[in-house]
Amino acid sequence: MSSRAQNYEFQEWWSKQREFLDKPENTAFLTVEIHSPTSDPTVDKGHTRSARQLSWLWLLKFQQLAASLAWLTNGSIDLLRTANRRIAASKTDSRSDSSISSRLYRIIKYFLFLVILLLCFELVAYLKGWHFSPPSVESAEVAVERAYAKWLGIRANYLAPPLQSLTNLCIILFLIQSVDRIVLILGCFWIKFRKLRPVAAAGYVGRDNLEDYPMVLVQIPMCNEREVYQQSIAACCIQDWPKERMLIQVLDDSDELDAQLLIKAELQKWQQRGVHILYRHRLIRTGYKAGNLKSAMSCDYVKEYEFVAIFDADFQPGPDFLKKTIPHFKVNL
């Protein structure tokens, strides 16, 4: 096979092109200028975006600062108003301790006013930059700067040591509480691991002697409980406990006459069945449910009972509740 013929036309064309490119005046069109994106400020989009983000960040911080100042101002005004109301109320009180309470609230009012002034003073000092370079008393020329310099000395010499002592005390109390919690957690794990359960010294199963059963007072506090009063009263009345050794108090704070009549009718039904149950109603609801329980304990017949069981109006205990719980409290049976 013969070799391929040379292309003289292409060689001649390529020689002409090389001669043309070798001339310096014909190489300008091949020069390409590459500029850094940061050299031209008109196309510096990254810096423009950063400045915009920075402006939004400062705007957000300013809004947070304004919200904090508004919250502090509203809280201080509310505290001052409360103190003023208490002082005005104490002036109209004719009791012997009215003067003492008035002085106490007045002291609280002045203390809060002083705290607000100090907060404002600290804010101004922070904006002025005195926290970073506090002025000295000798070189200070402005009275406010002198006062701030003295305040820094008072803070460092008189306020910082007791605050540091309180901080150390809080740390010690926190460590004690943490150790106590860890011990409790380990104890719970130990009880769970060993499957320990409380065991009563003895029970009341099969006991016929009534003297072995302690006197139990059952209290049911309620107020306008139309939906659950029947179930609650019935659950307490059917307790597997001698009726002679148990008394049920229905402590009613209802202000609706219909609710009172319904509860009284339910009590009469159980009284006819031989259950010792009493109805007690208060006209003045002092202390609400806790006050209702406290007033019921002031009755003379309550002293005869050894145990007190309190069931809320919406709670229905099982018939064997007393027999399961009282043996754990009654050791000497």
CATH number at residue 282: 3.90.550.10
| 223 and 323 assigned to the same domain | yes
Does 188 reside within a domain? no
Picking from 128, 161, 183, the residue at the C-terminal end of a domain is 128
Residue 285's pLDDT is 79
Kindly state whether residues 223 and 121 are assigned to the same domain: no
Is residue 202 one of the residues assigned to a domain? no
Identify the CA nearest to 209 among candidates 247, 242, 164, 257.
242
219 and 122 inside one domain: no
Look over the chain and give the mean of its residue pLDDT values, rounded to a whole number: 77
Task: Report the Cα 149 to chain-centroid distance in Å.
Answer: 38
Domain boundary among 128, 151, 179: 128
Domain final residue, candidates 94, 128, 162 = 128
Say if 242 falls within a structural domain: yes
pLDDT at 44: 46
Residue 276 per-residue DSSP state: -
Residue type, 194: R
Q: Which residues contact 251 (CB under 8 A, 6 or more apart)?
A: 219, 220, 221, 222, 280, 282, 292, 293, 296
Asked whether 219 and 301 are in contact (CB, 8 A), the reply is: no
Q: How far is 146 from 141, CA to CA, in rounded Å?
A: 7
> According to the model, what pLDDT value does residue 140 have?
44
Low-confidence ranges of the chain (pLDDT < 70): 1-8, 10, 14, 17-49, 83, 86-102, 128-145, 200-208, 331-333
What's the token pair of residue 157?
Answer: 């010499």
**Largest Cα–Cα distance in the chain?**
138
C-alpha 327: how far from its chain's center?
38
d(CA 57, CA 61): 6
In a domain, 151, yes or no: no
What whole-number distance in Å separates Cα of residue 177 and Cα of residue 174? 5
* Dihedral, 165, 166, 172, 174 alpha carbons, nearest 10: -160
Q: Which residues contact 19 (CB under 8 A, 6 or more apart)?
A: none
> Given its phi and psi angles, is residue 274 left (phi above 0), alpha (psi -120 to 50 degrees) or beta?
left
Measure the CA–CA gap between 271 and 125, rounded to whole angstroms: 77
In a domain, 274, yes or no: yes
Segment 180-220, tens digit of pLDDT: 999 999 999 999 998 888 776 666 665 667 777 888 999 99
Residue 298 belongs to what domain range?
214-329
Among 237, 228, 253, residue whose Cα is nearest residue 309: 237
In this structure, the answer to whether residues 224 and 323 fall within a common structural domain is yes
Burial string for 255-264 (b: 16+ CB within 10 Å, else e) reads: eeeebbebbe
Alpha helices by DSSP H, listed for the chain, are 8-22, 45-92, 98-128, 143-154, 160-194, 229-237, 257-272, 288-296, 321-329
Which amino acid, residue 192?
A: K
Q: How many CB atoms lie within 10 A of CB 325?
A: 15
Partners of residue 246 on adjacent β-strands:
216
The letter for the amino acid at 288 is: Y
Q: Looking at residue 184, what is its pLDDT?
A: 94
Domain assignment present for 272: yes
Give the list of residues 6+ apart from residue 125 with CB closer than 8 angstroms, or none: 131, 148
Number of domains composing the chain: 2
pTM value is 0.46
